[in-house]
Structure 1
């Protein structure tokens, strides 16, 4: 290395003493940093400025009516977009939108058709038609803009779906809410009825006791008649009042029955919506399975959308099951029990699909190919939940609606039978009163009267006791208050919850505040390779003879490399320090970032210098080819998993892969074993060119000189 150091010292002296050379060398040190800085600054935070991307919105929706509900979905969409500043929404007419998209004034347009709201309401009809948003895009204007505008339109679609679910569930819960309030208001009357009937029932044993005493002669007939006749008006008054209260309760229960029956169509609407969501999710899943072998990211898009639809379908099924449980609290209706069991099975099926989709998406995120078992699970048509829901919908009008009506009818049957019992008791009282009056005529008919009394009174006692028993059961039913409480819940807040039951809380593991900082590892690495190419383009690897010193091939190689690597280190220091302090890029570990830049520059200079030192101009061409390949296959811009198979196979063999990986560790946050792996691999890329150069440079030198000499004969290559 002694002679190599002499070559290096001579190079330094020549540069320092020659101002032209000094200017050129200084320019070589600075030029690569300009390449990195301009690119980082240009891409600093593009996704926060998407409001400059103009998208035309045309609302032609005429709105629609369903019973007492007015739906104007187009107007609602426009109102949502007016408050959305993520994209530059422009509200224009159809002619202006079409011309603007064609000329590039607008990147895309969204047209809401005249029948949008009308088709949205076909969910309550026998044949459903899905409404459409017509999305037109001019893809020649820019490659990235269509992806951004498409995401905006997808967000609008999701908001419309969420709002529709919220509206349907809101109407169901509004009906239940009103019934709960009415039931709560009538509760004091029910309590009064219960108290009166129970009092009469408690008095009956005392009357029976009096009759027994009379029969045994322990009291006189006159005393007994006085006591009994005193209680008869109370009995009659109580029964009449009880009849009035029960009649009032029947009116209320009939009103409640009518209200509950109105919920049946809404249950069917939720079933249809769940079926459509499930069917759409199954179609999206199959599309994802079809394309996963060609493009995992594209398949992931399908799987994510399918998962969202499955989640919405599960929410719908939950709301249906809750309502059915309200109607059939004691699980006494066999048909409703079977429907609830079917819905529970479908819900478990959908939750299984969601879990499987989560596993598939997680595999794709890790850059792995999902297993065939998972994909087969997703594509299993025998487990189709949409067909199961279709079966329930098909039986809805013929089986489920009658079952719901039967359950509601049971609520009024108790009141109806109570009225019958009270009528029977009331009709028997005049007979009893007449008998008692006759008893006052004398004692000669006393025994006959007592027998008749004992015969007539038990049916009355039985009637009153039956009513009391039923009312005691009602009074002891603690679930009544629970049902009233549930039914009185705020319909609006419940509807909001069902339409949007999940909030996503983002947890950034290694937060990087802007896109430019996230791209700095790639552009900094790229500039260092460009710097190495500039060096071999402007500086020669050939070393002239030194007076009094005989230079070997190794002396020449190492001596000139020391000059190259010195400039390369300066390039790395300028670009890395400039990233931090000039551009203010975010770097978690600043010193490590600078040191990693210097290390990468040393490795790159060794690779490129060795190529040119061994192969001459051909080596320069190889360096350019490697640059092109590494830009595409290093995963510096797009994830390597979204690139074609050729580039994915090439990725592990390129120095850029590990250089960018190491730089990302210093920018986002260091995981020690990852950084050690990247540094160790880059060391291999340093050592291999070094060994090959020492072994091959001398052997290939004569051949290279002949090739260069022959090339110069054509007169196109300089001397």
Structure 2
């Protein structure tokens, strides 16, 4: 043995130096590094999100519905659920719909041009129309598949069957609603117009309510003024009562003695005339033409005569009035006083009634204003309810119905919460295919790399360093391969793991463990070890739970599940990529370390056994 080979690392370096020189040997190492990328990366690429492109899968739609006629409010109305369904599907392109004839669809399904055929039978509308009668029938829509065109394609079509059923149910809903209720669009328009009318009514009532409030205010002022008038009229009536009570007896007494008063007045008038004439005579006798007359006395006498003339004039006027006034006039005056008293009382009563009526009218105006307010609130509520009702009436417009397909076709929604969503199909399967790709690397690496250095076996270096030195080249290239695979999936496909460092670290531990196991099998069994690695790969593919829950697999695979390392790799990568309990990562790390150490330990024992030369050690029983 060369003195330079003193550690596992020098053994690994020596193994890798074997591939220098010729380009083919260098390319062999590059190919080994790229094996996980080719296997895992390409597979994830093509299967990353197939369900996101279902609208590119051609599906034939055959509409053979002949329509039907129904009686709506005494009038015949044509319906065609098939046409409604076709319009519904055009608005929501779940698949690449191809609307064609039955013969073309059947031939296309047989030839593989269509993955599915949806057929609306000719009695579709007839059976829908029967829903409004006493003998309803269930309408059917036919789905035809052909697994010869790809079983998985049929599975993919089935995954959206629920959504497709919603579209069909929506078309049925619209057709059935038209059958039962007539044209819902007209109902919607009618309710909208009624809502507008109720709104106008509410506005008009608001104006009337404002006028009623003004009327109430005016009647309040009128009531105050009327009450003041009533109080004044009552006071006037009381004053008239007092005046009449005093004056009427006097007038009545005058009427009874009026003849005597007239006689006395006549006598007084005669007496005043004679006295006035006598004074004139005295003045003429004493003062006129008498030089001895006392001038002062004559002047004073003349003053008395003037006054007497004035008094006599008044007496004569009074006598004329007394003489011209008859007893009937005084009786009429007495009656007029009674009438005045009655009228004043009536005016007082009327004014009081007016005040009372004004107060009643004021209260009524208040009640009217309150009633109009309530009526306005009711009209506003009616307008709101009618508007809501109009909005809640579904339209029979296919474009609008398509947007409401999920609500109409499936009235009850399921609220789903995914704690750690994987997102796309490929991201959900990434843990499984990354694990497979890393295992395939170990399988392929030791088809090119040597598992043990022959010179080291014959030298003094211990078995453990020799075993580790045989494993390290594959481990080193495996780490490069794992990093290349991760970068390609992350940058090329958008893996976007929840914890990138844990994903990379776990991938490195996985490749170290898998290469150690591949090194062990190839070291111990030679070419047969590669076959055993393939068998072990198959067992892990079926028992790791990467595609289906392990509980759904046969008991044999359930028993293998906890024994093989890939089960723990898939479980841990799901957590690092999509999220979950960290305990799964810890458990996987422990299991992988146990497998890694165990594989290296057993490899060391195999190396120790290989150092005991036997005749068959020089020639393997099976070579490829």
Instruction: Judge same fold: TM > 0.5, yes or no.
Output: yes
Aligned to 1:349: none
Once the two structures are overlaid, the 10-residue window that deviates more, 570-579 or 582-591, is 582-591
Aligned to 2:55: 51
Aligned to 1:155: 163
* Aligned residue among 128, 143, 146 for 2:151: 143
Q: Give the CA deviation at 1:688.
A: 3.2
| Contact kept? 1:615, 1:704, Cα under 8 Å | no
Q: Give the CA deviation at 1:596.
A: 1.7
Distance 2:577 2:103 in 1: 49
Superposed CA deviations along residues 88-133 of structure 1, whole A, max 9, x for unmatched, are 1100111111111111111121111110111123234443322111
TM-score by length of 1: 0.52
Superposed CA deviations along residues 625-667 of structure 1, whole A, max 9, x for unmatched, are 1112222332323444554444344333322222122222222
1:42 aligns with 2:39: no
Q: Which has the higher contact order (CA 8 A, sep 6+)?
A: 2
Paired residues in the alignment total: 428
Aligned to 1:549: 459
Distance 2:409 2:147 in 1: 34
Aligned to 2:443: 533
Alignment of 1:82-121 (within 5 A): 82-121=90-129
1:674 aligns with 2:573: no
Distance 1:648 1:103 in 2: 40
| CA 550–498 in structure 1, closer or farther in 2 if over 3 Å, else same | closer
Distance 1:41 1:678 in 2: 26
Q: Give the CA deviation at 1:512.
A: 4.6
Distance 1:673 1:547 in 2: 42
Alignment of 1:593-612 (within 5 A): 593-612=503-522
Aligned to 1:617: 527
TM-score by length of 2: 0.59
Q: Give the CA deviation at 1:176.
A: 11
Distance 1:162 1:49 in 2: 24
Aligned to 2:288: none
| CA 160–13 in structure 1, closer or farther in 2 if over 3 Å, else same | closer
Superposed CA deviations along residues 309-360 of structure 1, whole A, max 9, x for unmatched, are xxxxxxxxxxxxxxxxxxxxxxxxxxxxxxxxxxxxxxxxxxxxxxxxxxxx
| Contact kept? 1:606, 1:690, Cα under 8 Å | yes
Aligned to 2:389: 490
Distance 2:615 2:128 in 1: 79
Distance 1:708 1:125 in 2: 91
SS of the residue aligned with 1:110? strand
Q: Give the CA deviation at 1:494.
A: 5.7
1:77 aligns with 2:85: yes
| CA 552–681 in structure 1, closer or farther in 2 if over 3 Å, else same | closer
Superposed CA deviations along residues 17-36 of structure 1, whole A, max 9, x for unmatched, are 77654432233222322222
| Contact kept? 1:61, 1:117, Cα under 8 Å | yes
SS of the residue aligned with 1:545? helix
SS of the residue aligned with 1:56? strand
Distance 1:554 1:488 in 2: 86
Distance 1:36 1:147 in 2: 23
Distance 2:80 2:553 in 1: 44
1:65 aligns with 2:69: yes
SS of the residue aligned with 2:562? helix
Alignment of 1:315-326 (within 5 A): none
Aligned to 2:36: 32
* Aligned residue among 469, 484, 507 for 1:559: 469
* Aligned residue among 136, 142, 154 for 1:134: 142
| CA 136–571 in structure 1, closer or farther in 2 if over 3 Å, else same | same
Aligned to 2:574: 664
| Contact kept? 1:110, 1:133, Cα under 8 Å | yes
SS of the residue aligned with 1:129? coil
| Contact kept? 2:464, 2:601, Cα under 8 Å | no
| Contact kept? 1:109, 1:135, Cα under 8 Å | yes
| CA 587–154 in structure 1, closer or farther in 2 if over 3 Å, else same | closer
Alignment of 1:501-520 (within 5 A): 501-502=411-412, 509-512=419-422, 514-520=424-430
Bigger-Rg structure (1/2): 2
| CA 161–26 in structure 1, closer or farther in 2 if over 3 Å, else same | closer
| CA 487–537 in structure 1, closer or farther in 2 if over 3 Å, else same | same
Superposed CA deviations along residues 598-639 of structure 1, whole A, max 9, x for unmatched, are 111001011111122222222221100111222233232344
Aligned to 1:287: none
Aligned to 2:546: 636
